[in-house]
Structure 1
Amino acid sequence: MKIEKQFGSKGWTPKNLNTLICKTYLITGANTGAGFQASRILLSKGANVVMLNRNPSKSEAAVKALKSEFGDTAQVSYITIDLAELASVRQAAKEILEKVRSIDALICNGAIAQIAQQQLTVDGFESQLGVNHYGHFLLCGLLFDRIDQSQGRIVVVSSEGHKMGLRRIQFEDMNWDKNYHPNKVYSQSKLAQTMFAYGLQDKIQAAGKTVKVYVCHPGASNTSLIRESASYMTRMSWAFMVKIGVAQTAEKGAYPEVMCATEDHLEERAYYGQQVL
């Protein structure tokens, strides 16, 4: 389903938002890119935003920048989490449950991509699957009851890249030891996230729980997803796409995840994306 079919020719924008006062949103990877822009949009409507980031110093800088824009009373904070380390995910979830009484939406936004050479997490998992899927999988499980009590949502930020790989999970070699390829493994991680979300929807319905689960993608957006760990050619190709204007802004890339976290009357068995405006 395309956003523009439900919200008109220009698609969903923050103009559709009403007040979000007394609403609480958790966002992974929120100190930069689409996650940071999602935080800005939610804060602009009075929401409480808890950023879940790996780097404390960058988190502090992001909080400072947001409070500079929205005032010292802006309800924005951070909790440190490293999605590549399951012990860190467990510790972060413990801290969240101690500090955050209600969760209106957990936005699984954080990701890594196009890692040129195979890398493993501290738990021994291929890094892109480890960060993009396994870390979020555990976080969703640990916070599920709190989200359910809040009648909240889980928003899974997938990618159009999930269509570019095997289109199936390579269960026979989950770490891709035999055929590692940066783009195919990224595709695998995003396919895993999408399949997880749809499977979770079915389990929630069968169990009679209240949590809603939505899947979206940001489209080609000018964020820091392509990092120094990507190959030289990948970085140059992406820089060229940004220069010629193929990539939209990070703010527009954030629209689908904010919409999925806030909008009523969405379909769960769907895949929401934002057209380039």
Structure 2
Amino acid sequence: MKNRFGPKGWTPDRLGSLSGKTYVITGANGGAGFEATRVLLSKGARVVMANRSAKRSDAAIEALRQEFGSDANVSYVLMDLAELASVRQAAAKLLETVPRIDALICNAAIAQIATQQLTVDGFESQLGVNHFGHFLLCGLLFDRIEESDGRIVVVGSNGYKMGDKRILFEDLNYGKNYSAWNAYAQSKLAQMVFAYELQRRVRVAGKNTQVHVCHPGASRTGLIRDTAGRTTRVLATLLSPMAQSAERGSWPEVMCATEAGLQPEKYYGPTRFEMVGPVGECPLEAFVLDPEQAARLWSVSEEKTALSWSP
């Protein structure tokens, strides 16, 4: 697959000034979300982080202001994607304080939860955080994003190709046969199925919001450091030297938030074995675009989040 951005792929060198633009990024006090914030701030944008830890958010902002100056336009709202009430409170705060959203980057995720855990709303934790929390946030902020002809960027994962390769509607929480890998794969598949369905619904409705899907490849972000079982942590440590930096892992989401001419039903990320290397378009498995699965997931997501949403 030829890279439209050339042999070096997409890099932040393509960015011009982002002055006057505002980006909301979930999970931005570390890893790829933090690095995406750095890139956007370096181009003059405003960034609002949506994070669950005040302490880590304060530390991140202090580091960013040391790098970019005390007037760096960065702030945060507290939001725990594992609690729908928290998502609603954060969305209300964002609508109150952020007059325009040029892109909402759904970056936050949890992965490889060793034993089954349920959120306060009764969802398997990875599905609850990675999909249902973001679904609700996107729905609550959609009109504000649309007003800015903005974008929604969903950070997926090549993990979607693992596990059952479908949404397990008959047992969403994997209560019968829990597997950290399968549950994580389902959560990322759900995010991607949702994103492509949102693309279709936006197009049918004649709206201007763009929706794009990317993945960070194999990046040293610490995503599984605190939650995975011992075997997975050991494997990740062994493979770490082959992974790329969190900074490079952030480039696909920055690209999807800013680059002109991106097409629907595409999947962007590192192109060398879909793990590292130049950022560009990656292959996408056809089962992600199944319209029946997408329609059912949308309906279930509305029910689970108590959000009736027609873009």
Q: TM-score, normalised by structure 2?
A: 0.87
Return the offset for 1:274: 1.8
After TM superposition, list the pairs within 5 Å mapping 1:66-215 onto structure 2.
66-215=64-213
Report the residue type matching 2:231 in the other structure: M
Structure 1 position 267 matched with structure 2 position 263: yes
Report the residue type matching 1:274 in the other structure: P
Deviating more after overlay: 267-276 vs 195-204: 267-276
After TM superposition, list the pairs within 5 Å mapping 1:29-40 onto structure 2.
29-40=27-38
> How many residues are treated as equivalent by the alignment?
273
Structure 1 position 250 matched with structure 2 position 246: yes
Cα offsets for 1:57-112 (capped at 9, x unmatched): 10000000000000011100000000000000000000000000000000000000
Misfit runs of 4+, over 4 Å:
none
Secondary structure class of the residue paired with 1:168: coil
The separation in 2 between residues aligned to 1:170 and 1:219, in whole angstroms, is 25
Report the residue type matching 2:109 in the other structure: A
Report the residue type matching 1:271 in the other structure: Y
The separation in 1 between residues aligned to 2:111 and 2:79, in whole angstroms, is 18
Percent of aligned positions that are identical: 63
Structure 1, unaligned runs of 5 or more: none
Report the residue type matching 1:255 in the other structure: W
Q: TM-score, normalised by structure 1?
A: 0.97
Structure 1 position 8 matched with structure 2 position 6: yes
The separation in 1 between residues aligned to 2:4 and 2:136, in whole angstroms, is 32
The separation in 2 between residues aligned to 1:35 and 1:225, in whole angstroms, is 11
Report the residue type matching 1:248 in the other structure: Q
The separation in 2 between residues aligned to 1:274 and 1:63, in whole angstroms, is 28
RMSD: 0.8
Secondary structure class of the residue paired with 2:47: strand
Q: Name 1:235's counterpart in structure 2.
A: 233
Return the offset for 1:165: 1.3
